[in-house]
Each structure stands twice: as C-alpha cells, then as structure tokens.
A and B are shown apart, each in its own frame.
Chain A
Amino acid sequence: MTTLRFPLSRIEGHARVEMEIQDGQVVKAQFQAIEMRGFRYFVQGTPAEQMPVITPRICGVCSTAHHVASVKALEDVFEVEPPELAKKIREILLLGQLIQNQATSLFIFTMPDRVGASSIFQMDNTEADPEQRLSLAQRALKVRQVGTHLITLAGGQFIHPVKAVIGGVTSGIKREGADEMLAELEEMLPVACELFDAYWEMSMSMKERIGTWGDDQPAYYIASTGQSRPELNSELIRVLGPDGVERASFRPHLFREYLDYQDTAYSYAGQTSYQGEVLRANSLARINLVNSMGTPCADGYLERLTSTFGKPAHPILLFDLCRGIELVYAFERTIEMLSNDLEYEDTAVPYKVKDGEGYGLVEAPRGPLIHHYTVRDGLIEDAEFIIPTVHNMLAIERALKVAGERYVTEEAISLELEKAVGRVVRAFDPCIACATQ
C-alpha cells in the first residue's frame, strides 16, 4: 500500500490530505484538520455579553459572520428583536464579508491553479496586461479591500468588528460615509467583473487541459438563503436534493433533527451528513437554492452558468465560478442598500441579561453558521459552534477520492494528482480555524 500525504496551502488554516493507494485504486482519502484552540471549552464561564467580541477571533477570515451569529444567539436567549435598521446594517456587514472572502478565494486562493502558478504574486509577470496601470495582484487586492472597507464602515474594527451589539447596532451609517463607499463600489465593480471574466476564461482553458469540471457525483445542498433572491441574514436553513427538489426547511434550533454529526480520530474537525447523505455547503449550494440573484450583472452571470450547466449544477469546480457570481452580487446589492437612508435614530433596543438557551444563524461565505449558547447566571455554561466547513467534510473526502481515481493507475501515480488535490480542496474553500475552533 502507498500512503501519500499532501500539505495544503492557499486555504484558511492548517490541514493536509492523506491518500491510500492500492493496486491502482484510491482506497482512502482523508482530509485532516490539524489544529485546535478549544473555543468551545474556554468560553465556558465567560460573561455572555462578551461573546460578540471573543468569537470573531475564532477566525480572522470569517470574523464578521461569527460576530453577527453571536449577537443573534444572545438576542435569542435574552428575547429581544433588533430594529429594522440594525438588520440592514448587519446585512451590509455580511455583504462586506462576502466580498472580502469571495475575492480572496477567487483571486488569491484559486486563480493561480488556473495557470499553474504558486501564488497570485508570481502571476504578475506572465499575466499582467501591460496596458493596465496596476498589476493583476494589485487589482485583485483592491477588489477585496472594498469588502474590508465595508466591514470597517458598518462594523467599526476592520477584522474583528464591534458594532453589532445585543439588541441592534451601535450606530447607523452616515450619508457622507455611505457616499464615499458608494463611489468606491461603483469604481471597483467593473474591475471585479473584468477580473471575474478573466477568471472564467482561465477556468475554461483549465477544463480543456484537465478534461473535466470535476468528476464527483451529485450531492445534497445546504444553505440559509432566500428562494427568489439571496438572503444572508435569514432565519431558515434549507436543504436541496440532488434532483433540485427542496427536502427540508428548518429553524436553527432544530438542526439536530436534520443533520447527523460525527467526530473522527484523524481530524480535529468533525463531519455532518443529511440523513446519511453527503452534503455540500458554500457558493454552489446557495446558487442551486436561489432562483435569481436579483441584481442585473450577477443575473447575467447566473444565466450564463445555468445555460451551460443546468440547475442544480453539480461539478465541483463550479463552486469557484459561483463565488464570482456572488462577488458581483454583493457589490450590486450593497450599492442598492447604501443608496437608501441608513442613519435614523432607532439603532438598538434595550435588553436585560437573563438565563436560557439561544441560537444565532447567519449565512457565512462558507455556508450556514450557527452559534448555540446556554447561559446561566449571565455566564456561558456551554457554547456550540456549528460550522459550515464541517458540513462539507464528507463531500471533500468523496471528491478527493473520485479525483484521485483519474490520476492513479496500476502503472503510475500522475504528478497531476497533487494539483488535483489542491483544486478539489480549494473549490470547497474550507476554513480550518472555524472547523476546529
């Protein structure tokens, strides 16, 4: 038996893939998350009100999603309903997170795979258009910075936001700040589209070269999003079957009735399944679950995707293209939202700390994220973090095994295998810091 171990890069956190090969067959593919800090344990005893400041530190990439999920979980415990303005500001925060994350995943994590480079910073010499004033890397970083600026505007601190609070937000967004942000969004939207077009082209060439968009079979999909258009700050989790028929729709406190969770000995992250079936979360799940993006450019790209691949679409490299569609959507949706007044008085309602149990749900860039807290004497008695990457674990391993079969024969293991492992894992954009906490 041959055991191959692949270190992983251009993903968030520390993980590796181990593959066992026998007689030309991939007999096992394990995705191993190899770090853990123990958030679930050390937050026990913390004053509940501090969770929105502590939990963003679970992950510097997904911090905004944790910040908002944490506030929503505590609102569920304390039984308060934030005012409309607060909900809008939180949606803007989540849109900022989506821009930042999808730009990172597209341009920094996966674009180099399309041309065989080791990083976007090495792509400049081969890919930069001499007419362009800025290099490819600089344009990509500027697109991603729009997300950071938006998080700063709506959330205060730029990595670990502070402005969502139990009962609402600390302030609205002043017209002046909104206008400045709008100008940046308007300026950078065409750049985002241009980079995404280039990305789509590079993906087509890659498909020509490797001969597939991904060999894995269809799967179930899970996301917290709307039916007619995307919703990042909703209260429902939805599950779609491989045939495109919706199988379930439930509120976060019922997740145990629908999802099975198991630990493994080889990873600090567990695995979820839906009634024994392999689940997929993240961009492709959201796109498969929503009828339209509701914004013009994003709908154009969606149309292009569905006319080529149908709906639901299953090949895993489409996760990457779906991220681009969402990047464009997030720009357009934010422009829509910031054009309206976001500065009225009523930013938060008062609350009293009380004991009980609560759930907070948001759609993070990687899928539905739930914070579940039990509060006693104002302190956290137990905290559970239900992480989207964990929903993808079985799907990642299955896809790795299937991809492996393309490159392994009785005679030889192709060098392309290592690249395939990278492409498969990055398509799911796993977050190890979150998955293990």
Chain B
Amino acid sequence: MSEKQSLPSFAVLQLSGCAGCEVSLINASEWVEKYQLVYMPLVVSTHAIPDDTEILLVSGGVRNDEDVYNLKRAVEVVDRVIAVGTCAISGGVANLGDRDDVRELFMAQADRHHLPHLLPKSHPVDAFVDVDLYLPGCPPTPELFMAALTGPENFKASSTVCGECGRKKLKDMRPKHLVGFQQGEVLPDICLINQGYLCVGSSTRGGCRAICTRPGHPCVGCRGPSDAYIEKTSDVWFERIQQVFERMTDIPPEEIRDALHSPQLSLFLFQFTDYMNGDRPSRPKEKVL
C-alpha cells in the first residue's frame, strides 16, 4: 500500500454526462500502475475528494445546482484541473437543450421535490472555475487520456482529423449535392467529401486518429476546431469548411451553408455553446490537447 501512496494522485468528478469519458479512461488501463486513483464514484466507493489530490479530471456539463456545488468544492482541494470531454468544455450533445423551443418543455420537468434543481441551461466547467487543460472529444480516446495525465507536451498528432484519416481525395469525383446524413453505402479509402458527406474533419482538431472517418462515418467535429481556428470566431471556422467543399465539390454553396447553420445544428451538435451562440471567450490553444 505504501508504494501505491507515493504515486501521483488523481480524482474524477462526473457532472451531468453519460460516463463515456469515464469508460474511455477505464480503457486506458496503463494508469493503473502509475497513478493512485483517489476518487471516482463510478469505480471507487469514496465519497469525498481527499485534500492535496494532484489532478482533477472533470467530465460532464454543469446542469443542476448540485453540479455547481460539487465542482466548486472539488477544485478547492486539487492542484490542477483538466476539463475532459465535449460536455465539460462546450456543453456537448446535451446542450441541444439550450434552445428556446424546447427549454420551456424541459424546464416544466425541473421543479421536483427532493431533487437537485436544474439550471435553466447547461454550462461548461470554465463558466465556474479555472481550467488548466482542456481535453476535448466525445469521448477523448484512451491515448488522449494518457497524454493528458502524463505529459501533453510529448503528444504527437496531426493538426486536423483530415490529416489522420488516410482516405484519398480525388480530383475527378465531384458530388453535386450532399447525400443524406448517413446513407449506408460508403466507398472504402476515398474521402467522404468526394462521396458527398458533410464531413468536417478538415478543420476539426486531430489527435483522435480519425476513429470515425476511417470506418466510414463523417466527422461530426466532437473535438472542436483545430489550432488554426480555435482562437477565432465560429464564422472563420464555418467559412473554412465552406471553402473546402467549394474546392472539392460542385455542391451549391447555399446547400452547404444551410447544412452547417441549420437550427438543429446538423453536425455541430457538439459545439453549440461556443460556436453557435458565441457568448464565451475562446480557449487559448496552448491549453487544449
């Protein structure tokens, strides 16, 4: 036991989320011998984060008043805070709830006795506390988790998902329209944009090793914008995606624009708070893994 106690310690605080980040962390089993896991209710029955814990990983969005309390209390006793996953950083898929047309319906459910009170909207973690490192992804891969824990400076990745995908871009295959979101037939080895899919891997942050696009699903941008766009407004990011499609396809620009800006946020479901409403400052790229 004494040997284990000298290892660096970390805690995992799960706010309102799906536990996918935690499951990914469990998949990254290499930490078992290198770190001491002091708090993670999913796998450890300890009901408080011990004082002087070195690293706090926070996943999930801030959805209710108990989330706010637990988050603020947790950062008091740790040295370093890492925001993990798209919900903690950008609201994630659950932030689809931040729409006037459904908020009313949603809030009608909120006022129950004996239960944590739901906030009017979901918030990212850094709306309440300072974050030292952002680890976006839905969820981040085990490799990314290990990099965040052991040393982000040594992590090597392409700047975009496109750079890690390996599908060939063809000059003479120019679709005239976007195909449906998910039509079954996908040609192997050929760029999904050439096949008419609304893939945003060309400007989405790399590091995931293109785990969706390689098996044939368009990138939905869960890791957010690459370094080139992360400190800019969403317009610049959208414009860049638009340009890629104009260069590679004959799809009418309005069709792309509509798809990118659809109120139900076609593919940008993961980035809603940051990039559709634009009311939060951007994160400095040095702090994003």
Contact = CB atoms under 8 A, between A and B. Distances in A.
Interface of A: 7-14, 18, 32, 34-39, 41-47, 49-50, 52-54, 57-61, 63, 100, 104, 108-109, 112, 118-122, 125, 135, 137-138, 141-142, 144-145, 148, 152, 156-160, 162-163, 165-171, 265-268, 347-351, 353, 379, 422, 433
A46 B20 contact: no
A267 to B, nearest CB: 7
Contacts of A118: 44-46
A279 B210 CA distance: 43
A50 B118 CA distance: 26
B139 A43 contact: no
A13 B19 contact: yes
A316 to B, nearest CB: 19
B277 interface: no
A41 B106 contact: yes
B264 A57 contact: no
A350 B183 contact: yes
A389 B233 CA distance: 42
23 contacts: A7-B47, A12-B19, A14-B14, A32-B115, A34-B115, A37-B94, A41-B102, A42-B97, A42-B99, A42-B102, A45-B99, A53-B220, A57-B138, A58-B18, A60-B17, A112-B45, A120-B43, A135-B32, A138-B32, A156-B214, A158-B27, A165-B182, A167-B184
Contacts of A49: 180-182
Contacts, number: 222
Contact of B66 (A34, A38, A152, A267): A34
A19 B267 CA distance: 45
Nearest to A11: B42
Most buried by A among B21, B64, B114, B214: B114
Interface in B200-231: 211-212, 214-217, 220
Given A41-B102, A63-B18, 8 more contacts: A41-B106, A47-B266, A49-B181, A57-B20, A59-B18, A145-B29, A159-B139, A163-B217
Interface residues of B, number: 70
Contacts of A46: 96, 264
A125 B1 contact: yes
Interface string B63-78: 1101000000000000
B85 to A, nearest CB: 9
A266 B27 contact: no
A158 B211 contact: yes
Contact of A60 (B29, B115, B139, B266): B139
A149 B88 CA distance: 26
Contacts of A148: 27
Most buried by A among B26, B43, B122: B43
Contacts of A32: 114-115
Given A63-B20, A141-B29, A10 B185 contact: no
A9 B46 contact: yes
Contact of B42 (A10, A121, A166): A10
Nearest to A66: B18
A42 B106 contact: yes
Contacts of A145: 27, 29
Given A12-B19, A265-B113, A170 B216 contact: yes
B22 interface: yes
Contacts of B115: 32, 34, 266-268
B112 interface: yes
A42 B104 CA distance: 11
B188 interface: yes
B116 interface: yes
B116 to A, nearest CB: 5
Contacts of A44: 101-102, 105
Given A34-B66, A35-B16, A166-B184, A268 B112 contact: yes
B214 to A, nearest CB: 8
Contacts of A125: 1, 4
A47 B44 contact: no
Given A42-B97, A158-B141, A163-B217, A348 B211 contact: no
Question: What 6 A-B pairs have minimum CB-CB distances, sorted nearest first?
Answer: A60-B20, A348-B184, A156-B215, A162-B217, A119-B44, A42-B96
A299 to B, nearest CB: 30
Nearest to A58: B18
A8 B217 CA distance: 37
